[in-house]
Amino acid sequence: MKILYGTTNKGKLQAMKTALESFDIELIGLGDIDSELPCINENGKTPLENAEIKAKAYYKAFHMPVFSCDSGLYFDELQEEEQPGLYVRRINDKELTDDEMIQYYAALAERHGGRITGRYRNAIYFILDENHHYSSMDMSIATEPFILVTEPHEKRVEGFPLDSLSIDIATGKYYYDLEVKDVSTSVDDGVREFFASIFQNDK
């Protein structure tokens, strides 16, 4: 089965391919679509609402199984009105580059004593066909809490700029210095369970 992942982010597409490699699916991204992409107004109030908006728009445009994801970033030390939430990359109505994100969030950590504790709340919305829609914003697809610091790791992965600032709480090490772990590792199992339940029920 060919499934469209509604993202132009090559890093996110590759990470999802790795997470779902045990499934008998061909995962493609928006960059593999040879037609104009729909213009989408992501005006949802939660990650799940935005994921649904995107998935429905791509399904309507391309008529194939599709899923979209969205996430919000929340820090223990920030007040509600200060939270990045849905706007992790969009600050003051500007879409930040990877480097600009590293600079902005390093400065945010600096204002709170050099480190802040965060977690991504993730959502996924999958449309198999007209009659079968599935969604989740379960904590099983949220990341583990992590520490964001001021000094970035030298390693960079395109599309995941904040991983360079992220410290594993249990070890105190940068995620990039751990052998098998990164910020998204704790999400992969939840994503696999999400799709496994769908394909098992669909048989």
pLDDT in the model for residue 81? 86
Burial of residue 125 (CB within 10 Å: 0-12, 13-18, 19+) is: buried
Categorize the per-residue pLDDT at 36 as very low, low, confident or very high, splitting at 50, 70 and 90.
very high
Q: Given the structure tokens 């098992």, which residue do they identify?
A: 200
User: What domains appear along the chain, each with residue ranges and CATH number?
Assistant: 2-201 (3.90.950.10)
Share of the chain above pLDDT 90, in %: 81
Instruction: Report the 10 Å Cβ neighbour count for 198.
Output: 14
122 contacts: CB under 8 Å, gap ≥ 6: 47, 69, 70, 71, 137, 141, 142, 143, 187
pTM of the predicted protein model:
0.76
Give yes or no for residue 6 having a pLDDT over 70.
yes
